[in-house]
Structure 1
Amino acid sequence: MSEKKLQNIHILVTGASSGLGLSMAEALLRSGATVALASRPGSRLDEAVARLTQAGYSAVGIPLDVRSEQSVDEAVQWVRREWGKLDVLVNNAGIGMKTVNPRFLVDPQPFFKVSPEGFRNLIDTNLTGYFLVARGVTPLMIEQGKGRIINISMNHETMKRKGFVPYGPSRAATESLSHIMAEDLKEYGITVNMLLPGGATITGMIPDELRNEIESKFQLLDPKVMDEPIVFLASPRAEGITGERIVAADFKKWLQERV
């Protein structure tokens, strides 16, 4: 196990049963944090938590539907009851373009072919979900006089790419939300930053049946690209940093320029 630089740090990661969320949760656990993996209940979450606890990590699973105020409230109540504090929220839960067009990377479709139901479902998860979870944990962080929120985003190019409604708009709005949250929370000692991989990543958002076809056209990043920057943002080294947009693939350069 690596150096326990995050000992006594309690972190909630949403969308943590697979993909970027699971990779970040594992990196935080390896660094000594206590982590609640939150996602919709099911075997994926149960199996991930079982594997991590059997490896000796301080992991726990929390059932969470980020689109539901009641579900968010229940998760926050669990944190208050079991931990009594929350140091870091990683807002990561989201769904991708394959929910409205399974062939989105190889056969993009224009926005007017997206169903209203598909549009609303993705926005409710990717944007409203970030708002609801951050809104839910902020009172606890205000009581503590400190806290960190990390919102996971994506490349600006993807926000403008052909055929990327509603995923592109959902993350463009996430970044606006993040900047405003950072300003709103400065006076309370709570920081808000954005973290994005820096390219398409190998996650469940890419349909398995199209992976070979997509990999021939796009260079996909390993989810582990998020590990080092997420640990940094949760660590004492990131004290006071807020309103930043960090590209994981360029993290070392970003860090060097800050020194």
Structure 2
Amino acid sequence: MRVLVTGGTSGLGLAMATALAEAGASVALTGRSAARAEAVAAGLPGALGLELDVRDEASVARAVERAWSRLGGIDMLVNNAGIGMRTVNPRFMTDPRGFWEVPPDGFRAVIDTNLTGYFLVAREVTPRMLAAGGGRVVNISVNDTTMRRAGFVPYGPSRAGTESLSRIMAADLHGTGVTVNLLLPGGATVTGMLPLDAAPEGVAFLEPSVMGPPIVWLASDAAAGVHDERIVAAEFDTWLREREKNGR
């Protein structure tokens, strides 16, 4: 399995790239800094690090071409690169701001990265997958509550857009051999996007490694026909048992 993971130098992206590489996949991970991407990739078995700014069409085209050439193709795209609320309001958990207080440049930056970036990378990879006869796209999302929580513009709308984009991508690609699925952690994770003291009392942060088992499964033969599913990593074992019990 040849996999391209965007935003793979830290957090969820690094956890998924690590799990995939350790499971035997050939992984290309990306980051805005070529040096950092290469350094992180050097710590994973057989991984490749590439510079990619998902907001920039030319950067996307270059990175996808390099990944395709170096890996000999791309079987799976993991759309993960993203930025959080801290970029527009560093105190968003303790001092949430109304949407009317969000600077337009900050709004655009989050939407451009978290939503338009997913579109641009998938738009570049999908025609190659279709020509090759198949492939898999996994878009990383978040809990529904994040999409309607006070003070979460523009991050919430960017991830609501991710959900809609994924569903429409899945509909557009139905029956083509290219599958599209959503994957989300299922809770606050230790990625730096949320302050560690931000979780409600009695609720612990999830480790990024929670994404490992489901992403490895999505890259496996068992998931070859899985399409238009929304998988919660923290509930993956239960979801998989139910799926197998129902003969799917």
Decide whether the 8 Å contact of 1:16 with 1:25 is kept in 2.
yes
Aligned match for 1:40, one of 14, 32, 45: 32
Cα distance in 1, alignment partners of residues 37 and 199 from structure 2: 27
For residues 144-181 of structure 1, the C-alpha deviation after alignment (integer angstroms, 9 at most, x for no partner) is: 11100000000001111111001000000110000010
1:214 aligns with 2:178: no
Secondary structure at the aligned position of 2:74 is classed as coil
Cα distance in 2, alignment partners of residues 156 and 216 from structure 1: 16
2:163 aligned residue: 175
Cα distance in 2, alignment partners of residues 80 and 36 from structure 1: 9
1:238 aligned residue: 223
**Cα distance 1:146–1:42, how it changes in 2: closer, same or farther (>3 A)?**
closer
Cα distance in 1, alignment partners of residues 39 and 50 from structure 2: 13
Aligned match for 2:11, one of 9, 19, 30: 19
For residues 93-118 of structure 1, the C-alpha deviation after alignment (integer angstroms, 9 at most, x for no partner) is: 00000001111122211111100000
1:88 aligned residue: 76
For structure 2, the 5+ residue unaligned runs are none
Name the amino acid aligned to 2:198: I
For residues 181-225 of structure 1, the C-alpha deviation after alignment (integer angstroms, 9 at most, x for no partner) is: 01111232100000000011100213xxx43x3257452110011
Decide whether the 8 Å contact of 1:18 with 1:204 is kept in 2.
no
Matches within 5 A, 1:187-202: 187-202=175-190
Cα distance in 2, alignment partners of residues 165 and 98 from structure 1: 11
Cα distance in 1, alignment partners of residues 170 and 225 from structure 2: 11
Secondary structure at the aligned position of 1:230 is classed as helix
Cα distance in 1, alignment partners of residues 149 and 11 from structure 2: 22
Cα distance in 2, alignment partners of residues 148 and 200 from structure 1: 26
1:124 aligns with 2:112: yes
2:54 aligned residue: 66
Name the amino acid aligned to 1:119: F
Structure 1 residue 43: Cα displacement: 4.7
Structure 1 residue 91: Cα displacement: 0.1
Name the amino acid aligned to 1:64: L
Q: Percent identity?
A: 58
In the superposition, the TM-score normalised over structure 2's length comes to: 0.94
Structure 1 residue 44: Cα displacement: 3.4
For residues 11-42 of structure 1, the C-alpha deviation after alignment (integer angstroms, 9 at most, x for no partner) is: 00000000000000000011000000111115
Secondary structure at the aligned position of 1:246 is classed as strand
2:145 aligned residue: 157
**Cα distance 1:201–1:74, how it changes in 2: closer, same or farther (>3 A)?**
same
Structure 1 residue 67: Cα displacement: 0.4
For structure 1, the 5+ residue unaligned runs are 1-8
Cα distance in 2, alignment partners of residues 77 and 14 from structure 1: 14
Aligned match for 1:147, one of 135, 148, 165: 135
Cα distance in 1, alignment partners of residues 39 and 51 from structure 2: 13
Please, what is the CA RMSD of the aligned residues?
1.3
**Cα distance 1:83–1:48, how it changes in 2: closer, same or farther (>3 A)?**
closer
Name the amino acid aligned to 2:235: D
Cα distance in 2, alignment partners of residues 105 and 227 from structure 1: 28
Greater shift, 76-85 or 116-125, is seen at 76-85
Name the amino acid aligned to 2:157: P
**Cα distance 1:249–1:39, how it changes in 2: closer, same or farther (>3 A)?**
same
Aligned match for 1:258, one of 239, 243, 246: 243
